């Protein structure tokens, strides 16, 4: 009881800190405002399957399972909750969810209120979303609870000297569907036996999307038969070394840049720093031959990768790399900066030879030359990516088999 009280006090202090930050930070303000205005219906006995994701990336991991459930049982209602505004604001109108909400702060009273408002049939938490008052309330109501695409590391609180109470809470979860064998060994060391190694459910989605991708006529017209180097989700720290190296590309190659920040100011900064003439996607026409195309809208990148011969994935010189799965699903070899170790697929593909760490301009220049002048090297890396993705798909079917029989 003491540890739960201390945990709840920590949640309240965290919430107070976000409210204070809301005066200075737009994302914190969204976090506060979204929760302040939302209302829940009175429980009308309609059963919901609850999915909770921290943000957009975790939602994409849960999405294949939501789609599989709705395909088998279209009548089932889905409650979808987000912790972060970056997930909620983009998916608040998700068509397969009956209700999309912000997750209220993890206090006992708010957990009771949420579960009093919705008749929850079962609950799925994605990856790292450990909210112990919600888990406790689900346990008390005997609502089956699952973790999907869960991933554990030795430095998580569960495996620290102070982690006893936290790890004890995990034992009430009905089943963990973990991404890898290392996660399985770690939770088994806590005495948890209810797990299955399924891999990452997101591979199921990116693989399916790669097989259903619609053609992009503008990208095809821009390429004009040239090979494409696609720079995806780049940050200024990525662009700083990339722009210096683009001059190595011969006329047989062209570049597509899809920056993380598509504000007019940042796009102008990219254009001004380039040594070759560029054009934005929204302004592109076929009358002139450009070497560099800058994507100035959201939602195209995952489909653009189908045209890439090799790609750069941004974020590796900052907090962490962005999603590499969308590119490698097309058999596209990828490069990225040094901050990639949180992602098993990046670690695996570096070992296998389908992905490559780049930490300097000299290394980038070396890799670009190899991709251009050693076609066997590029083709081998591409095949590694295809085989890897092929071996990763199927997590959703494994989860469905355990949960629904």
**Strand locations in 288-358 (E):** 292-294, 310-313, 334-336, 355-357
Determine contact, residues 146/177, Cβ cutoff 8 Å: yes
Return the pLDDT at 276.
85
Residues counted in the chain: 405
Q: Report the distance separating Cα 158 and Cα 174, nearest Å.
A: 18
Distance CA 246, CA 229 (A): 9
Closest by Cα among 207, 149, 230, 211 to 387: 207
Q: What is the pTM of this model?
A: 0.87
Give the tokens for residue 73: 């049982």
**Confidence bin at 348 (pLDDT 50/70/90):** very high
- Rounded Cα gap, residues 352 and 219, in angstroms: 30
* Whether residue 322 has pLDDT greater than 90: yes
- Return the pLDDT at 298: 85
What Rg value do the Cα atoms of the chain yield, rounded?
Answer: 23
Interval 228-239: pLDDT, tens: 999 999 999 999
Q: Smallest Cα–Cα separation from 136: which of 105, 107, 177, 102?
A: 107
> How does DSSP classify residue 348?
H
Report percent pLDDT > 70 for the chain.
100
Contacts of 367 (CB under 8 A, 6+ apart): 335, 356, 358
- Considering only the top CATH level, what class is 216-391? alpha beta
CA distances for 389 relative to 231, 299, 309, 328, angstroms? 21, 22, 17, 7
CATH topology of domain 2-207+394-404: Rossmann fold (3.40.50)
pLDDT tens digits along 371-405: 999 999 999 999 999 999 999 999 999 999 999 98
Backbone angles phi, psi at 48, to 5 degrees: -120, 145
* Residue with token string 């070497």: 291
Instruction: List where CATH 3.40.50.11720 sits in the chain.
Output: 2-207+394-404
Which residues of the chain does CATH 3.40.50.2000 include? 216-391
Which pLDDT does position 1 carry in this prediction? 78
pLDDT digits (tens, 9 = 90+) for 235-283: 999 999 999 899 889 999 999 999 999 999 999 999 999 988 899 999 9
Q: Residue 283: phi, psi to the nearest 5?
A: -100, -5
């Amino acid at each position: 009881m003491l540890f739960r009280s201390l945990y709840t006090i920590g949640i309240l202090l965290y919430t107070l800190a976000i409210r204070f930050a809301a005066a200075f930070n737009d994302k914190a303000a969204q976090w506060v405002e979204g929760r302040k205005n939302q209302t829940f219906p009175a429980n009308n006995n309609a059963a919901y399957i609850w999915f909770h994701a921290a943000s957009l990336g975790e939602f994409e991991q849960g999405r294949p399972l939501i789609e599989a459930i709705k395909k088998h049982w279209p009548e089932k209602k889905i409650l979808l909750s987000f912790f972060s505004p970056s997930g909620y604001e983009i998916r608040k109108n998700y068509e397969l969810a009956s209700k999309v909400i912000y997750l209220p702060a993890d206090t006992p009273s708010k957990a009771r209120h949420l579960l009093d408002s919705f008749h929850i049939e079962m609950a799925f938490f994605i990856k790292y979303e450990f909210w112990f008052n919600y888990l406790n309330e689900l346990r008390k109501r005997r609502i089956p609870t699952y973790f999907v695409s869960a991933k554990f590391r030795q430095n998580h609180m569960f495996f620290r000297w102070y982690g006893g109470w936290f790890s004890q809470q995990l034992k009430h979860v009905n089943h963990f569907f973990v991404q890898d064998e290392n996660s399985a060994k770690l939770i088994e060391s806590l005495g948890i036996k209810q797990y299955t190694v399924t891999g990452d459910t997101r591979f199921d989605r990116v693989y399916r999307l790669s097989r259903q991708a619609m053609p992009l006529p503008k990208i095809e017209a821009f390429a004009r038969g040239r090979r494409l180097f696609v720079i995806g989700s780049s940050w200024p720290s990525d662009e700083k070394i990339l722009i210096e190296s683009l001059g190595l590309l011969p006329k047989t190659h062209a570049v597509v840049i899809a920056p993380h920040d598509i504000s007019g100011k940042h796009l102008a900064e990219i254009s001004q720093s380039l040594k070759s003439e560029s054009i934005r996607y929204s302004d592109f026409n076929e009358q002139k031959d450009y070497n560099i195309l800058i994507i100035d809208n959201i939602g195209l990148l995952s489909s653009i990768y189908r045209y890439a011969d090799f790609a750069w994935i941004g974020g590796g010189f900052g907090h962490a790399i962005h999603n590499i799965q969308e590119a490698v699903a097309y058999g596209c070899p990828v490069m990225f900066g040094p901050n990639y170790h949180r992602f098993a697929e990046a670690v695996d593909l570096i070992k296998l030879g389908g992905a490559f760490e780049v930490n300097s301009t000299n290394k980038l220049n070396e890799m670009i030359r190899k991709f251009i002048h050693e076609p066997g090297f590029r083709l081998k890396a591409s095949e590694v990516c295809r085989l890897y993705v092929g071996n990763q798909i199927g997590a959703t079917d494994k989860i469905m088999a355990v949960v629904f029989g």
